[in-house]
Amino acid sequence: MASQLSSSSDDPTFELALAEQLLVSKEKKKKEKQRKFLLAGRKLASKETDSATAMFSGAVQSIDELFQAFTINYAAEDDSIRALWSTISEEQSKLQKLSKRYRLAVLKAGEECEHKQIKGMGKAKESVLDAQKVIELIYPKPIAMEALKL
């Protein structure tokens, strides 16, 4: 009986130790599962962030390339526009000089025309007076008046 007693008194201790060991083992398995779960979560999160980072970096690089191309094209177009404005300015300056020269030429021609017109009117008056003298020589005054009335 003593051996049964000792065996029966060891049983609860043994069961307690076994239960404790089982709890520790379950706890270890639970912690290992949690560790694996967290590790898998980290890997997945890392993979997703790496993928998003790569995609974002690609987008940033693409935007930078587009902006650089735009800047180069804009500068080229701006240079083109500036050259056109410069050409327009030069042509405008030439036109102003030509316009001034032609205006002065027209004024001079107008003055010459006026001078010649006055001279021509003077010659016409002189011719009329000469014609009058010839008429008076051919026809004396009383006859001249009658001839003019005809």
Tokens read off for 125 = 């008056």
- Report residue 64 as tokens: 């930078």
- The sign of the CA dihedral 113, 116, 122, 124 is negative
22-35 exposure pattern, b = at least 16 Cβ within 10 A, e = fewer: eeeeeeeeeeeeee
Three-state SS for 95? Answer: helix
The pTM of the full predicted model, rounded to 2 decimals, is: 0.47
pLDDT per position as a tens digit, 40-53: 999 999 998 989 99
> At residue 9, does pLDDT exceed 70?
no
Indicate the average pLDDT of the chain. Answer: 87
Q: Enumerate the domain spans of the chain.
A: 2-149
